[in-house]
Structure 1
């Protein structure tokens, strides 16, 4: 690992730590020697990175410290670009355009030595399969999710039966062939996942949820854990 990358990794590890980390713990994470960690910590402190602590006790990073943007490792850079490429290929037009703009901004901002990780990546996303068209305005739907507003939809189930429902949208899920809208359904009084290509009509009624959005999101994550064994906590 290059020294500059190692210094950056030390900052990232300390930033994510919940308690002081010893030089030995850092050396094991970085797969380097304790002596190298001591030297790197001293260099970071000399550069006025706000690390406090001492040998044998542990080091902590001031939570208020903010690094310059786009100090990415090669793996982080490839991960960001790969994710943006997936979104650009499979999302709605507005989000796809934003993903392409993001790749362009990253390419312009990173040092020349890192640009091959964008132009010549080691991984690639498979080409998307054709997906049915959605009637929902995805830009407005994302805004409704952010501000916590209700949506009324006409929905066609697998048997072709149509019903009208008022829902509290939580999250849009993107797959290769369809998009799913996770929401609390007032009709069923439980969380449901609606295929967006089966939504035949939509009205953005603007009525706020009875809960804060973060509370609704937490309850949906708990629902996913209990009913599907999927842990979505970070």
Structure 2
């Protein structure tokens, strides 16, 4: 079981960078303890000067200006980082792979010697599989369009080999190995659609930007049942 000091650090980490309140139920699940224990831990953090606001039954928020000092990682966290970097390198594009390697290098430079030794001893690997499905569109351009909320126009070929031109509000990319899906609001169908990026023949990022509208945003997509369509 996690020691209390480790748990207090994890609670602070869970609250850090969150836009909204985090419930005690969620924190308890992540720390594998009771909600009552989390209530006591939150009170202890507040007494020690950590700027947490909120209350039981509503949730807790950490002041955005508060930051923990750099932390060491335990072995499972290190293995997760190394494996995640390897998977990013093998299942995205070169640009994102370089970013993943750069991030891991920064982490290595900040690790104390014992943690660095554990990192070098990690025996978890990821290699590109023979079932890898290639694509021709710019993976990083899609990520940019999602991040900056640019509409895109795509020439798409569906599973029946029928082609169409779609204007899409790109919302997210989902990896369902070995396939990547682009999910978005399709202005032709006036509904959410999933597009396999290996079936996108042409991609153009438009100058039009979009704002989230009720019924058309990522949260609305998550609340619906769309992931099982696999870009049909």
TM superposition score normalised by structure 2 = 0.71
Give the counterpart of 2:5 among 4, 7, 10.
7
Is the Cα–Cα contact under 8 Å of residues 91 and 174 in structure 1 kept in the other structure? no
In structure 2, runs of 5+ residues without a counterpart are 16-21, 25-30, 53-59
- Partner of residue 24, structure 1: none
* Contact 1:169-1:184 at 8 Å conserved across structures: yes
How big is the shift at 1:72?
2.8
Task: Flag structure 1 segments of 5+ consecutive residues without an equivalent.
Answer: 20-26, 53-60, 229-234
Q: Check if 1:29 corresponds to 2:33.
A: yes
- How many residues of Structure 1 are paired with residues of Structure 2 in the alignment? 203
* Structure 1 vs Structure 2 CA RMSD: 3.7
CA apart distance, 1:88: 1.3
TM alignment of 1:35-184, pairs within 5 A: 50=50, 63-64=62-63, 65-121=66-122, 123-125=124-126, 127-184=128-185
Q: Give the whole-Å Cα distance in 2 for the aligned partners of 1:210 and 1:112.
A: 47
- Spell out, residue by residue over 1:45-97, the C-alpha distance to the aligned partner (whole angstroms, 9 max, x if none): 7xx65389xxxxxxxx9823320134433322222222122111111111011
Shift in alpha-carbon separation, 1:133–1:50, aligned structure 2, 3 A = closer
The 4+ residue runs of structure 1 with deviation greater than 6 A are none
Aligned to 2:186: 185
Query: Would you tell me which structure has more strand in proportion to its own residues?
Result: 2
TM-score, normalised to structure 1, is 0.70
Q: State whether residues 155 and 200 of structure 2, in contact with CA within 8 Å, keep that contact through their aligned partners in structure 1.
A: yes
Q: Equivalents in 1 of 2:62, 2:123: separation in Å?
A: 34
